[in-house]
Amino acid sequence: MTPPAGLRVVPHRAARLLLAVALSTAGLAASSPAAAGPALPRVRLIATGGTIANRAAGRLTADELIRSVPDINRLARPEPEQFANAPSASLSLDQWLALGRRIDQLCRDDGELSAVVVTSGTDTLEELAYFLHLTVRTDKPLVIVGSMRNPDTPGYDGAANLLAGFRVAVDPASRGKGVLVVLNDEINSAREVTKTDTRRVDTFQTRGYGVLGVVDPDRVVYYRAPARRHTSRSEFDVAAIRALPRVDVALVYQGASGDIIRAMVDQGARGIIVAGAGAGALSGTQEEAIAYALERRVVVVMSSRAGSGRIASDAAGETAAMTVHGEDLAPLKARVLLMVALTRTQNPVDIQRMFAEY
């Protein structure tokens, strides 16, 4: 049979040779950096312990946590780092400082690092997260994750939370939003979030304001951004803080004695957070005890035990006028800010300005 005009006939062996060369060339092209696309972002996972690692046979390490989430390698190049492996309430304030310095150093010195994810126990997660939110100076995403169920429990939420945390960390929209707390596919700001239930997986919530965003199957979605100063815009520098001063919390309840506040002062507290009733009401002999603290140059911050709402600077009376008003910060968050503030000043006017800005 005569081939159509213009059609070149290639001998069988030659055709096989051309095919082999073509496949080889295609393989080289596919393996080249340009064909492979850009490298996945590098994300440092810093593990501190908590329920997310609390397996009965021995706590999971940072490396084991990464290996528990196979899909994580499709999102990023995870780099495990073991900082601690203990319940969150067991971490000392010195360890807070060491962790903050480590994250600050990583973000400052490693230009190729995209983000940092930290695992924490949930009991004091909100306090650690807010401390980092105030002191680590970077725009890189900083994400805190944990879990409410341990690895031996049916419905273990640690792997899902870790995957969601990595998805948030590598999302470009997370940059510049400060420290983000990611559990139960929800994104909350470290300043606003609080643990609301002892058992439920949806325990971390932002009362009054709502979540910053959500982690949905198709993408990360943000609805708003934090308005207060944090991280790269913060005046606090964790590298310059040598120790955090003692700050105690006094609870207001019916017929409360001021003796507890006096004891805090006598034992060396440099600041006291008063978790007042309602909009900051006191009880028993607490007002006299606060005057005792103020006379000894202890900074007193009024907050509320109510769970939400702002302490306005319109309180009557000489003692109330001399205290710092804690804005909408919960007592535990107010304590974190006051500790950091006292590393820079003891002037109540300056500290009131900080509570208004942070």
- Active-site amino acid positions: 51
Among 59, 124, 119, 54, which residue's Cα sits nearest to residue 83? Answer: 119
Measured CA to CA, the distance from residue 140 to residue 104 in angstroms comes to: 10
* CA distances from residue 238 to 36, 99, 108, 178, 241 in whole angstroms, order as listed: 40, 10, 12, 15, 5
Structure tokens at 130: 């807010």
**Sign of the CA dihedral 48, 52, 76, 132?**
negative
* Whether 234 contacts 137, CB under 8 Å: yes
Q: How many CA atoms lie within 13 A of 76 on its CB side?
A: 28
Q: How many CA atoms lie within 13 A of 210 on its CB side?
A: 6
* Whether 138 contacts 106, CB under 8 Å: no
Buried/exposed code over 309-338 (b: 16+ C-beta within 10 A; e: otherwise): eebeeebeeebbeebbbbbbbbbbbbbbbb
